[in-house]
Amino acid sequence: MIIPGFLISLVTFPGVIVHELAHQLFCRWFKVPVFKVVYFQLSNPVGYVLHEVPSRKWQSIMISIGPFIINSLVGALVAFPAALPVFKFNTAGPLDYLLIYLGVSIAMHAFPSTGDANVIWRQVKDKSTPVLIKIVGYPIVGLIYLGAFGSFFWLDLIYGVGIAVGLPNLIISILA
């Protein structure tokens, strides 16, 4: 079943917002000036952050992959309090289901976009880029494109459910 991307983005808009906040947060951490932020819109792209080119290439890579780190953490943390009532005790209320939805929505937007991959690609192919940055950067670009391809097969949703549902359940099982 093919669902238009804008509908998925509309239903999971909290994840889009956190994704853009993550880019902006990494810009602020690295003191990279931000010119414009669109947290959510119903056109392509659904959100973006325009910022100055960082002075260091590794900062550019970190700004690009920041949403993977932040959305994964926030998605798990938001869903975690609801995991026990929903999955173990069957005592869940509407707030618990809202937290699970938010956790999945946020985590499924963790994957950097192909636009982020293009930014990394431009940085690592530059002749002045240190070899270590190239060794790290090229596989990241490949993984981002693989994730984009996997989105066609709902990989982003599977990841979101894994982070917001699977991870809390795994932690509860280990600790219980």
Structure tokens given for 111: 């994957």
Domain ranges of the chain: 5-175
**Structure tokens of 69?**
């780190």
Instruction: Please list the pLDDT of the chain residue by residue as tens digits (176 residues).
Output: 667 777 888 899 999 999 999 999 999 999 999 999 999 998 889 999 999 999 999 999 999 999 999 999 999 999 999 988 988 888 989 999 999 999 999 999 999 999 999 999 999 999 999 999 999 999 999 999 999 999 889 999 999 999 999 999 898 889 87
Measured CA to CA, the distance from residue 32 to residue 78 in angstroms comes to 28
Asked whether the whole model's pTM tops 0.85, one would answer yes
